[in-house]
Structure 1
Amino acid sequence: MDKIVLKNMAFYGYHGNLESEKSQGQRFFVDVEIKTDLTKPGQTDVLEDSINYVEVYDMVASIMTGESCNLLEHVGALIADSLYQHFQGIIGLSVAVRKPSVPIAGVLDYVEVVTTRGQI
């Protein structure tokens, strides 16, 4: 199946369970993978026959830079559900939200939450 993928989108947001995360904010990274049939836009070369990835980016940016959420699980669900409801032709999608600056007393690159909808 065909896919549209937006990788490693970077945003500054105020998501987290700690008050310091909500007041100071931090960087987040998001990947979106949309499973869809790209046969028609591949033949017609018309944007309206596809899923506009600029609109996908804008929807993700609005959520990531918008209202503060406590959990990455909630952020991922907001993105996944918004995209799934807004765009026709999505067979399935996956949203990965990464948080590199986590309040964990240990060494790690990031924490990532992956949310899926439909058939992946």
Structure 2
Amino acid sequence: MGIIKVENIRVFAYHGCLKEETKIGSDYRVDLKVKANLLASAKTDELSDTVDYVLLNNIVKEEMQQASKLLETVAQRILKRIFKEDHLVKKATVSVSKLNPPMGGDVESVTIKMTERRKN
């Protein structure tokens, strides 16, 4: 087994429960960690034998563009697509952070983190 991380994916999106958030948008940070068997790719040196981190990045960017009220909903969509589109992933963790959230205080970010395992 091995771990692939894609960290600090920065996107601008329109998530939130407040009407203003869905109009003006916010900056977000997404971090991914996936667990997969990387032994084959270490031997073959072929992209087709590993988890493509470009694919992971694209999944995040695409799912972040679909507005949702809750970050949990966005994270769940990202996890679902990762397992659907890459059969090598056995476990995935996604963290979605809203930077400078409108909370009436000086808060750098709020983050939700969700983990799923492949169900076989």
TM range (shorter): over 0.9
Q: Deviations for 1:54-110, whole angstroms, at most 9, x for unmatched residues?
A: 111111111112x21000010110101110121111110000000012122233221
Q: Deviations for 1:22-73, whole angstroms, at most 9, x for unmatched residues?
A: 00001100001000110000000000001111111111111112x2100001
Aligned-pair RMSD on alpha carbons?
A: 1.2
Which ranges of structure 2 fall in alignment gaps of 5 or more residues? none
Q: Say whether residues 1:15 and 2:12 are aligned partners.
A: no
Q: Say whether residues 1:88 and 2:87 are aligned partners.
A: yes
Check the 8 A contact 1:31/1:97 in 2, yes or no: yes
Structure 1 residue ranges, 4+ long, deviating more than 2 angstroms after superposition: 105-108
Which ranges of structure 1 fall in alignment gaps of 5 or more residues? none
Aligned pair count reads: 118
Give TM-score scaled by structure 2 length: 0.93
Give TM-score scaled by structure 1 length: 0.93
Structure 2 Cα separation of the partners of residues 60 and 86 of structure 1: 12
Check the 8 A contact 1:16/1:71 in 2, yes or no: yes
